Every structure is written in structure tokens, then in C-alpha cells.
Chains A and B, each alone.
Chain A
Amino acid sequence: MLPFKVTFKPGVPACEQAVYAAKKSIITGQLRPGDEFPSVRALSQALKINPNTAHKVVAELTREGLLEVRPGLGTVVAEIPRSSREQRATLLKDELERLVVEAKRLSIDLEVLHEAVTGHWRRLSPGGAPVEKLVEAKL
């Protein structure tokens, strides 16, 4: 059993999807610092993905500082690393702009967008509750 769930969508590289799923479970606290992360082989068997892909998933999460390789112990979840100014700028300027463009294109009100963001924020915080209904009502 993996400590996180991936439902693969066709057309998006499997590596990207698995990295995102793992990241999400770390952010929400389902996986905590110090928890053991599945080995490449366990990952590849459980998700039925290519071992090279599984290897890339672990490498990418390690590169982002979310996992840490402890010699002799295997790979464990790291403390969530402090972000750099540059990383924060990318998210707040570029990616947020993209979101606003799409929201405006779909004529979503600022208020609704704001509530949805807050909802997701709460849901993805450790111990958070599902938000789907809240957003659903506004649409």
C-alpha cells in the first residue's frame, strides 16, 4: 500500500502525476517528516509504472527537498524546505497570473475565486475538510 493515491489521467506524463500526488500528501500532512517513502521498486509495482519513471519521481522529490536519502535507512520525508524568493515570485507572479487569466476567461467572480482558494487552502492544510461542496454551491 502506498501512502498516497494516484489516479492516472492519460496524456500527462506519469512522472509528473505521481510527483504531484506525493507532494500533495506531504503538504497535507498525510506523510510527515521522518516517514519512510516507498522504494523505487515498491513505487513502480504499486503504481504499475516503469521503474525508470519511479526512479525519476524519487529523484525529483529529492531535488525539491521534500525527500531525503538516509544512507542505510532508505528515503524519508524531509521537513518542508524554506522557499527561495525566486520560487515564491514564480508562483505569485507567473502562475497566479495564469490562474487569473483563466478565471476571467471563464467569467468567474473575484469573490468566488477568492473563496475557492481559501477552501482549497483549508482542505490541503493538515486535518483539513473537503471543500468540493462549498465551491459547487457557488457555481
Chain B
Amino acid sequence: MTPAVEADRLTHRYGRQEAVSELSFQVPESSIYAFLGPNGAGKTTTIKILMNLLRPSGGHAAVLGIPSSRLGPEGLQNIGYVSENQKLPESMTLDQLAAFCAPLYPKWDDSLCSTLVQRFDLPRRQKISSFSRGMKMKTAVVMSLAYRPRLLILDEPFSGLDPVVRDEIIEGMLEIAGRGEWSVLVSSHDLSEVENLADHVGFIRQGRMVVSEPLESLQRRFREVEVTLAQPCPQPQPWPAAWLRARISERVVRFVDSEYDEARTAERVHQLFDDAEAVASPMSLREIFVALAREERHGGTDA
């Protein structure tokens, strides 16, 4: 199956500044992929390359099987895209905007458009210039969902919105989900926004992909482990490479196991710490990313 989005060693430079370097990832068909990272990590640059708004300095990307550099009007009929600061024609009303967009998309669905407008509680005959930020975002989402795109790309759709509006937008997105081929790429700097929504996550930091994999496998392989020692002992060597962020005090050793497996981790702990008991607790996405980000920076143990 062709992935909905495929990026292969994408690189982009603004002058000498490398915004994205050697970035590779895939958004599998019918998945919701959360593209996460701090502000300025290169998320928007990557998305602009995918949408053929920027040309990469190196590497290539394909969207719905089409090389992004050849993405034209026909390909775009299957892609819904809402950019970070989506501009809307302020002097139009919502009804006028819908009438303007409809003929551009053969698959435009008037009844879906009405359903969404109602769900979002948007006024149809008021000028968009009078809309709040949240209403404008909802309008942009309606216009990109009403033609049932096969791929939806949202760049920071929730930033600066209150939780009620955020929930409304998610419900709207899910309104057209689950009907066959439908994939989403949503970027965010706030992990908690998308933790239950995404089934795949990619984490980008300083233009590089730190991790890109199914959320479940990520949640399964990361555990915070605490070992209580019978007596103080120095950090054993060699220290397993998969055990990140080791902190050792007199009698307690804590680390993040990035390849957790109940039996294997327990055995390792027994070998290194003379039969000490280990307690492993699951980690939130946020905790996992903090551990990965620190690891990148320090490249090993942080004392």
C-alpha cells in the first residue's frame, strides 16, 4: 500500500540555516500521524515542502503517491490543507466562501458542509472579518473537509484556541473519518492535544527526526524504571545503551528503558544489581519525548 505521505531524506536550507535536515518519515494510509516538536523545529517547513509551496534543497517527498514537486490542482483535490495562519477572504460570508470553493472540487459535498457548519455553530451570513480566531479556524477546517479529502494536512490547528473549540474541530475531523481511505497529518507543539487522537507519532527536533513510529509501540517500549538497592553501589559498567537518563543516588537507581520488556528488563536488572527488585511505570508521551530530547542533547548519562 502506498503511504499517504512519504518523505525521504528531505533537507531544506534558508540561506545557510538548515531548517530541515535529512528528514525521513511515512504517514501510513488510514492513520492519524501527529507531527510533533517544539516551535521552530522545522514542522511548517516540512509541510510546505509536502504541499509544493517550497522546493527542498535535497531529498524528495511524495503525497498520495505523487511527487510533491509535481503536485498540482488535480492532486490537491484530494488533499485538505489548513496552514498555520490560514488566510481567508475577510469580506466574504461563509455561504459566499462555500459557493466559491464548491466548483473547485468535484467531490464537494454540500450536505457535509452544512452538517459541519451546524456542528461548529458558525454564522452563515456574517462577514468572515467579524469572526473570532476560533471561528476562522473552524471555517478553514470546514472548507478543507467538505470535499472529503483522502489526506488532511493541518499545521498547528489548535494553537491559541480554547479547549471547547479544539474539541469541536476534532469531532468535525472524526465526522469524516472511518469511511475508508482517510489519513491525517497534524502538526503540534503540544503533545497532550493529540495523545489519544494519533496512532502514529513523529518527533522532530532542530530539523531532525528523533523518532517516528506507531504510538502503541512507543508506549510499549518506554518505561521509567526504579531499582531499590540493598546497599549502595557505583553505576555498573557496561551500562545498557537502551537505558537512558540514568540517575543514581545512594540506594536508588532510576532510568528510562527505551527497549522495555518485562522479562528481559528484570533479568538485566538482576544481573547488574544483585537481585534488586525493579518497579517499571508507564510514561506519557510528554515524558517519553523529554527523555529522548535530553538524550539527544547530552548523548548519554546525565548525572
Contacts and interface: CB of A to CB of B under 8 A. Distances in A.
A41 B178 contact: yes
B171 interface: yes
Interface residues of A, number: 19
A55 B32 CA distance: 14
Question: How would you classify the secondary structure of chain A's contact residues: helix, strand, loop or mixed?
Answer: helix
A57 B234 CA distance: 46
A1 interface: no
A30 interface: no
Contact of A40 (B171, B178, B197): B178
Given A8-B196, A10-B285, A11-B282, A45 B31 contact: no
Interface of A: 8, 10-14, 40-41, 44-45, 47-55
B182 to A, nearest CB: 8
Given A8-B196, A41-B178, A48 B167 contact: yes
Given A11-B284, A51-B177, 20 more contacts: A10-B286, A11-B283, A11-B285, A11-B287, A12-B282, A13-B215, A13-B216, A13-B219, A14-B195, A41-B175, A44-B174, A44-B178, A47-B196, A48-B171, A48-B197, A50-B32, A50-B196, A52-B32, A53-B199, A55-B178
Interface residues of B, number: 26
Among A11, A41, A49, A54, find the residue whose CB has the most chain B CB atoms closer than 10 A. A11
Nearest to A14: B196
Contacts of A44: 174, 177-178
B30 A52 contact: yes
A38 B199 CA distance: 21
A131 B156 CA distance: 44
B170 interface: yes
B192 interface: yes
Interface string B222-256: 00000000000000000000000000000000000
A50 B282 contact: no
A55 B215 CA distance: 16
Contacts of A8: 195-196
B122 interface: no
B39 to A, nearest CB: 22
Interface in B250-286: 281-286
Contacts of A45: 171, 174-175
A54 B174 CA distance: 11
29 contacts: A8-B196, A10-B192, A10-B285, A10-B286, A11-B281, A11-B282, A11-B284, A12-B282, A13-B215, A13-B216, A13-B219, A14-B195, A14-B196, A41-B175, A44-B174, A44-B178, A45-B171, A45-B175, A48-B170, A49-B196, A49-B197, A50-B32, A50-B196, A50-B197, A50-B198, A51-B174, A52-B30, A54-B178, A55-B178
Contacts of A12: 219, 282
Nearest to A41: B178
Contacts of B170: 48
9 closest A-B pairs (Cβ-Cβ)?
Answer: A10-B284, A51-B178, A11-B282, A11-B284, A14-B196, A51-B177, A49-B196, A45-B174, A50-B199
A79 B191 CA distance: 39
A16 to B, nearest CB: 10
A90 to B, nearest CB: 16
Contacts of B286: 10
Contacts of A41: 174-175, 177-178
Interface string B187-205: 0000010011111000000
A54 to B, nearest CB: 8
Contacts of A49: 196-197
Contacts of B178: 40-41, 44, 51, 54-55
A52 B196 contact: no
A19 to B, nearest CB: 14
A48 B284 contact: no
Among A40, A41, A47, A54, find the residue whose CB has the most chain B CB atoms closer than 10 A. A41
